[in-house]
A and B are shown apart, each in its own frame.
Chain A
Amino acid sequence: MRTALAMEWEKLRPVHKTSRTIALAIALAVSVSALVALAVASSASHMSAHDRLTFDSVGISLEGVNAAVLAVAAFGILSITREYATGMMAVTFLAQPGRLRVLGAKLLTHAGVAGLAGAGACVAAFAVGQTLLSTGGLATGWSAPQLPAALGGGVVYLILVCVWGIALGALVRTSASAIILSAFLLVVAPILVQILPAGVVQQASRWLPSQIGVQAMSAHHDPHAFAPWTGLAVLAGYAAITLIAGGFRMVRREP
C-alpha cells in the first residue's frame, strides 16, 4: 500500500491540474458566496426583525461551496477516466497489479487534496461572505457557535463528493459520461425534483446530494431535510455503493 500511495502521490504532484482544481474550487466558492452575500446585504434594509433573527449568516456565507462541488467531482472522476482514456491505466496496473490497492491509494490521495481544497474553499467563502454581509449588518463573525460544525460539514461534503467522483469514474470509465452523470445528479436532479407534486418534493429532495450539502453547511435546519450528519452519512452510502460497483468493474474489466 505504501508504494501504491507513493505512486499516486507522484502522479498528482507535478500535474498543474491538481493545483488548478484547488484554485478553481476556491475561486468558485468565493465568487458565488460573494454574489449571494452581496445580494442579501443589499436587501438587508427591507428585512423584518424576525427575518434578521432567523437569518442563517453561516449558511449564506458558505452558499458558494455548492458551486465548488462540480470541480471537486470532476477532479475525482478524471483521476480515473483520464488514465483509461490514455491507456495509462494498463501501465499503472503493470507497476501495481493489485487493482483494488490502486483504487484505495487514489481514494486516499485525492480525498486528501479534496479535503485541503474544501477547507480552503469553506474558509475563504466564509471570510468573503461575512465581509460583504457585514455591510448589511448581517455578519455573525468567526465566533458563531454553529461555525465549526458548518465548516467541518462543508469539508466532509466535498471529500465525499470527491470519493464518489472516483467511484463513478471507475464505474463509467469515460470522462464525458461520468461528468455528465455527475452534473445530472448534482445540478439537474434538484431542478427536476421541483416538477414533482408539492408533498413529494420535500420527501424526494432531501435525498439529493446538493440538499445534503446545503444542510451540512447551514446553521438553521430544515425540518424536512436530513440532519447534517445523517445527510452526510446518506451521501457516504451513495459513495460506498458506487465504489463497490466501480471496484468490481475495475477488477473484472481489462484496462
Chain B
Amino acid sequence: MIEVRGLTKRYSGRTVVDDLSFEVKPGVVTGFLGPNGSGKTTTARMILGLTRSDAGVARINGRRYHDLPRPLCELGALIDSGGVNPSRTAVEHLRWLAAANDIPRSRADEVLAMVGLDSVAGRKVGGFSLGMRQRLGIAAALIGDPPVLILDEPINGLDPEGIRWIRGFMQGLAADGRTVLVASHLMSEMALTASALIVIGAGRLIAAESMTDFVERAVSSVRVRSPQLDALEATIAVEGVSLWRDGDALEVVGLSIEQIGSMASRIGATLFELSPQRASLEDAFMQLTCHTAEFAARRQAS
C-alpha cells in the first residue's frame, strides 16, 4: 500500500507536482500514466525519498521511506537511471545491495534466476544490453522480496519477448498480493497490464480509478452504415448529437444504438451496421488530458 498526500514539488518557481494525493492498493497492477514531463518520475522519486518534497508526504505501509529500517525489504524500486557501475558484475551489484539490508548473499543468485540472468551472473554489467540492464534493475528491486514495488518505465529497452515476460511477471507479482505501481507513457502496454490507473497531467491528478471506469468516461460513438445514409443523417441530426462521416459510415455521439435503431425503422431505412465503438485507453487518455496539455501550452505561450 502506497499513500500519497498533498505531494508538491517546485523547481525554481515552476510547479512540477501539484498537491498530488492518491493511494495504490495491493493485489493489482496500477498504471501510473501521464504524458512525458507530467511529473511521474518526480513523484516516484519523492515517494522513494530521493527528491525532497516541498509539501505533502508519501507513506509506504504507513511509514515514510526514510523511516523504513530495511527499505529494500519493504519496497523495491526500478528507477530509470539504471544505477549500476559498469565495471561490476551482475551478481556483485546485487550482493552489495543484499549486504546493505542484511539480506542473505544467496538471494542475489535467486533473483538473477527469477529474471533470467543466471547465465550472465558473472559478467560485467558494462557489456549488458539495455534489456539485460532492465532485467538486472528488476532483480535489484526484488532483492528484499518486498511487498511493494515501484517500476518506472520497466518496458524501456526490452525486446518483444522481454515485454511479454515483464507483463506476466508484473501481473504475477500483483497476484501474490503485492502492491505494484508501474509508471509508463505507453498506453497500449498499460491497457494490457494494468487494471487500476492513476493518471496525472501537468503534475495534477486527473483520475485515480479502475481501468474500466476510466475508459468508460471517454466518449464512445456509434457507427452506422446504411444505403439511405443521407436520409438517416437528416433524422439523427438533432440538438445535442454530434455526427461525422467516416467513409461510407456515419459516426454518432450522443445517441444509444437503441435510439438510432428506432429512428431508422421509423423512416424505413435499411441498416448494414449499427455498432458501438468502444473508446480505447488511449482515446480516454487523450480526451481527459488534452485540456491540461492545452493549458500547459497556452501558459508557456503567454
Contacts and interface: CB of A to CB of B under 8 A. Distances in A.
In order of increasing CB-CB distance, the 9 nearest A-B pairs are A87-B81, A7-B100, A95-B100, A91-B83, A10-B96, A10-B99, A87-B83, A6-B99, A11-B96
Contacts of A15: 85, 87-88, 92
Contacts of A255: 50
B48 A94 contact: yes
A14 B84 contact: no
Contacts of B99: 3, 6-7, 9-10
Nearest to A254: B51
A87 B102 CA distance: 23
Contacts of B172: none
A90 B84 contact: no
Nearest to A14: B92
Interface in A134-168: none
A237 interface: no
Q: Which bucket holds chain B's interface residue count?
A: 20 to 34
B101 A14 contact: no
Given A3-B102, A95-B71, A90 B49 contact: no
B82 to A, nearest CB: 6
Interface of B: 45, 48-52, 65-66, 68, 70-72, 77, 79, 81-89, 92, 95-102, 140
B156 to A, nearest CB: 14
A97 B71 contact: yes
Given A10-B100, A15-B92, A89-B83, 4 more contacts: A11-B96, A87-B83, A94-B50, A97-B71
8 contacts: A7-B96, A7-B99, A10-B95, A15-B85, A91-B79, A94-B77, A97-B65, A254-B51
Given A4-B100, A9-B99, A95 B84 contact: no
Given A17-B87, A83-B85, A88-B83, A93 B50 contact: yes
